[in-house]
Amino acid sequence: MDRYNRKDDYKYVISYFHGVTWVIVNNKPLDEENLEKVKKYRSLMFICLDNNIQLLDNVLCMLPLDLESLYLEVSYEWSLTKRDSKLNVSLLNLPLNLKYLEINISDFNENMDNLPISLKTLIITSNIFDHELNNLPNELERLEIRCEYTKPIENIPLTMKFLNMSSFYPYLKDIKLKMPKIKFNNIFTNITFNY
C-alpha cells in the first residue's frame, strides 16, 4: 500500500513557505514538538475539518505571542448528515501584535469587538456573519466582508483605505460620503465603485 494513501499519514501536516507556517489538521491535535515549531513563525495558516472544530479552538488558545498574520479555515467534508454542533470560535485571545486576520469559515458568526489594536487587515468569508462591526481597531486599513452583510458600520477608522463588500450592502454611499478616500471593491463583480 502506498504510504500517502493511508489515513493515519494525515493527522496533521506542517509545512513552511516563505516564512509562513501552514498547519492542516485532520483528526489529531498538534503534539508539543510540532507546536514548538509552529511558535517560531510569525505567520500561521490553520486549516481543520469541520468534524474537529475543537482543534481550532485549542490552537487559538496557544498562538505565538509574536504572531503577525493568521489565516483560519474550516473545511467541510461532504456528508449526508449535517453537523449538529454550532461553531463556536473565541477570538478573545488573539496576539496583541497581530496585523492580518483572515477567517474563511462558512458558518462563522462571532463577536469581533475585541480585535487586537494593531490589526491592519480583516477579511471575513462566511455565509452567515451578521455581528456589528462598530469597534474596529483604530489602525485598520483594509476590511473585506465576503457575505451578504447588512449591518451599518458606524465607526470606520480614519486609517481605512480599502473596503470590499457585497454590491447589496445598503450603506456604501454613506461610507463614501464620510470617507471619500476609501477605495471600494465589490466582491461579486470586481468593479471598483467611484461615487
Nearest partner of 72 among 150, 146, 125, judged by Cα:
125
Count of CA atoms in the C-beta half-sphere (13 A) of 137? 22
What percentage of the chain has pLDDT greater than the value 70?
70
Helix (H) or strand (E) holding 15: strand 12-17
Indicate whether 187 pLDDT > 50.
no
Strands 192-193, 183-186: pairing is antiparallel
Query: In the predicted model, what is the mean pLDDT of residues 57-78?
Result: 81
Indicate whether 98 pLDDT > 90.
yes
Residue 55 or residue 162, greater confidence: 162
- pTM metric for this prediction: 0.80
Q: What does the pLDDT look like over 163-181, one tens digit per residue?
A: 998 878 888 888 888 888 8
Torsional class of 19: left (φ above 0), alpha (ψ -120 to 50), beta (otherwise): left
Indicate whether 78 pLDDT > 50.
yes
Band of the pLDDT at 159, cuts 50, 70, 90?
very high
Residue 49: what pLDDT? Answer: 73
CA distances from 147 to 71, 78, 107, 114 (A): 17, 22, 11, 21
Least confident of 38-52, 53-67, 162-176, 177-191: 177-191
Residue 167: what pLDDT? Answer: 75
Residue 193: what pLDDT? Answer: 41
* Domains, in order of start, for the chain: 3-193 (3.80.10)
Q: What does the pLDDT look like over 113-147, one tens digit per residue?
A: 899 999 999 999 999 999 999 899 999 999 999 98
Q: What does the pLDDT look like over 4-36, one tens digit per residue?
A: 333 444 445 555 555 555 665 555 666 677 677
How far is residue 188's CA from residue 172's CA, in Å, rounded to a whole number?
Answer: 15
